[in-house]
Chain A
Amino acid sequence: MTAVPRGARVLPLRGVGVVLKAATPWNLLALVMLAAGIAAATVLPFSSSSTAGIVAFLPLALMLQGWMALWQAVHHEHVPAVRSPLWIALIMLLACSHASAAALAFLGGGDVWMAVSVHTLCVAVFLGIMCSGQLLLWVVGAAIVYGIPSLADRNTSLDPLIVLIIGTWNLSRAVIALVRREEWRRRMAMSLLLLLHAQLILAPAWVDGLASDSYLAGLWSGKGKFLLAMWTLGSLLLWHSLTPTSKEPVLPHLGWSESLLGFRLNRFRARHRLGSRPDLAHTARSRKVDRDMTGPVDMVPNARRPTVAPERWRVALLRKCLGPPISADLDRGTVLGGGILMFALLNSAQGDSIGSWLGVASAFLLVLMLRLHGVQCAVREVIFGEPGSGLAEIQLLPSWRSAESLRRLLPTIAVRVIARETTYGVILSQTVALLSMFYWNLVFYVEFAVAVLSYGAMQACLALMLLAADPSRMRALHSFGLISTAYSLAAGSVSHLMLSHAGAPWWWLAGLWPLLPMSGVVVLLIRTRRAATP
């Protein structure tokens, strides 16, 4: 007997089909839009490098989404086709399309700002992939990607818009995190997401409109119409991807959508079982179930949460310190949103040395808080599995809080911390470095590049130590940490060289940025595949 609800449409997708379903539409669309971008760049009159950059970035943004969908497909191991040669071919196709788009942006722009924009985009791509589609980081990356061309033209009117978008999103995420127990609120979140998506894509047109004292004129220009059409298409696709096509989570892109919203709907469903699925609950209640068989009736949940006994104060304290998942969402949103907002506010005092230093201090504070958050998340994941669960089983293990137990858990915790911290470290250092470069001078950038180098070196040492200590634990996450480290090192050094020698004959090497995250992802996939092979 299966527990498939009546009316549920279980799609007969298997193997390669799942991969294609997950990744191909996005990337095909990206390729089409890339062609459109080339055509637009040829036909439409562009007044600045920023517009050319915008046209090039749109397909790249969609490619990012394709990458993310693909990553999710592998990450959640819905995809048995990971082992097939077609999978590798698909990866190579995506990599080539990505590289060609980046080259277009680089060669089309032909100046240092374009190179920086490409660089930033690749950071966003990298982070988007590595963070498994966490929207917050994607939004930050996208905001920078869309914002940099205008910033490069010293049009700072986009700056508060970026802050507004990120702040609004964070606020909405916090609200949603609190009230996400109902389906209609999920829909509301989707709408909000679409709105913000639109804001992001339309922002450049808005800025151009502001530059010509007419928003509508900017919107209705040839470029604006193109952007609007792309936004509509992108929104429709986004909406499609966010709308579950089946009652069962058989499609990888559904998992990606859930991650995109930060919902982790599968876990939410697992936590609430049938309670969040009235159709299935109804089915379970109405169906006559053979008591000797495993049937839906057995799955009726006990929604009550156990309360930790007062005597187990250490466990209770630990759990309280680690916090429930909602607070984690709030933490992350508040910290990052608040940090960026504070940073932007302090930036308003351009040229003011005190303001600059305060900005740097706030950025470092942000780094510190996120590092703590990374440790918190890693410890919670490792010890409790999903937050709030597994505690009872672990509590009854003898000596689970002993030094021996912790010693044996430490490598895994450390690896996760490295993975998280490196990711956050990369995005923060890159973000801060770019902002400081635009607002202050290259000195700050160099300092951050040095910081990134140090950070990367430290992570590399730790990762290698762990690898030597316990190779069996070095699965995909370890590659993740090492790749992040390598990228971090390269990002710091090459960025520094590129900006220090802008105009030199060899600075076009910066255009090779995409190869780094791409190669990292390919390596990661291969490692994951090996790890998944019994």
Chain B
Amino acid sequence: MKPVVVEHAIASADSKAPLVAAGLTRRYGQREVLSNVTLRLEPGQVLGLLGRNGAGKTTLIQCLLGLCAPDEGESWLWGTPSLALTDGIKQRLGYVAQTPEAFGWMTISEMLDFVAPFYPQWDHDYVRRVRERGGISVGKPLAKLSPGERQQAAIIRALAPRPDLLVLDEPAAALDPVARRALLRDIAEHAASWGCTVLYSTHIVSDLDRIASHVAILHHGKLLLHEELDALKERHLRLHVPAAIAAGLEPSLSGELSRHRLDDGALRLLLLCAPEAGLPAALDVPEVRRETLTLDDLFVEVAG
């Protein structure tokens, strides 16, 4: 597949933007896990960060939150460098780790009681509602809960402070479908009610279809796409070009993202094109079958 050109806003420190990253590069030994990632989240955005296993999603989130230092580049939360977050910034931040493991010796109640005083906007009603909803063993230490229950506890801990920025690192990985729906509903409610900005890392594409306003695709440490979800779907087209027409096509078309030649000589093209611009003349014929991509299709095409 050809490299995809990503157009995005220029990132810079900005006290209004909840999260900004510029040129983040991170290496483990010789291996480059993140490669010059630039990203900017505007207030109220729900950004779905998609990527295959090992794409670098967790590392990117850790760099964004200052949990690990990038080899190059920098990131800011509301204009504050991630590596020097103040308590005030942390109070506006909710984070769910991929495998929550902290406070394993506490029960959920003890953990929430311990954490709540650190946050001035702690939403006791939300905690009560979630606990009434049930599904979590409240009497057991966190370390002895199932991974799904631990994940739910971490989600409660992240949402209860009514954060302005919510960062979730594959939060649904261990959740059952019911709990996952509830999580998505909670996130949507939080985002809608007070404009919480969300960074949601996952490889479960269907989740993003429900809540994301924007989508970014990370592949081999590179940010391949970062765009509004609806626009993304509109601008990407998959074309099935018959062999007769394919033979006369140029080797590289404007906006072409990928090109797969099938056994019978036909082509499958992935094009990035503005809706108003239309297709190139050679392809704007009835024999060429057009197909609108779902997010799932797009992810497979880009990162497959």
Contacts and interface: CB of A to CB of B under 8 A. Distances in A.
B147 to A, nearest CB: 8
Q: What interface size band does chain A fall in?
A: 35 or more
B301 to A, nearest CB: 16
A100 interface: no
B91 A389 contact: no
Contacts of A77: 140, 144
Contact of A394 (B58, B102, B139, B296): B102
A90 to B, nearest CB: 23
A7 interface: no
Q: Is the interface of A mostly helix, strand, loop or mixed?
A: loop
Interface string A388-406: 0111111111111000110
B118 A400 contact: yes
B213 interface: no
Interface stretch (A188-196, A247-255, A353-361, A378-386): A378-386
Contact of B174 (A294, A308, A396, A400): A294
A510 B65 CA distance: 61
Interface in A301-340: 302, 304, 306-312
B279 interface: no
B211 interface: no
Nearest to A78: B144
A472 interface: yes
Interface residues of B, number: 57
A409 B118 CA distance: 14
Q: Which of B54, B83, B101 has the most CB of A within 10 A?
A: B101
Contacts of B104: 385-386, 390
Interface of A: 77, 291-294, 297-300, 302, 304, 306-312, 381-382, 384-386, 389-400, 404-405, 408-409, 412, 472, 532-534
A304 B59 contact: yes
Q: Which of A300, A309, A386 has the most CB of B within 10 A?
A: A309
Contacts of A472: 110
Interface in B72-118: 83-85, 87-88, 90-91, 93, 95, 97-105, 110, 114-115, 117-118
Contact of A397 (B66, B105, B115): B115
15 contacts: A77-B140, A77-B144, A291-B203, A292-B206, A302-B98, A306-B67, A311-B66, A386-B101, A389-B102, A390-B101, A390-B102, A392-B97, A396-B65, A404-B117, A533-B139
B148 interface: yes
Contacts of B28: 304
A398 B235 CA distance: 42
B105 A396 contact: no
A472 B176 CA distance: 32
A399 B87 contact: yes
Interface in B16-74: 28, 33, 53-54, 58-59, 62, 65-69
A294 B173 contact: yes
Q: Which of B99, B102, B140 has the most CB of A within 10 A?
A: B102
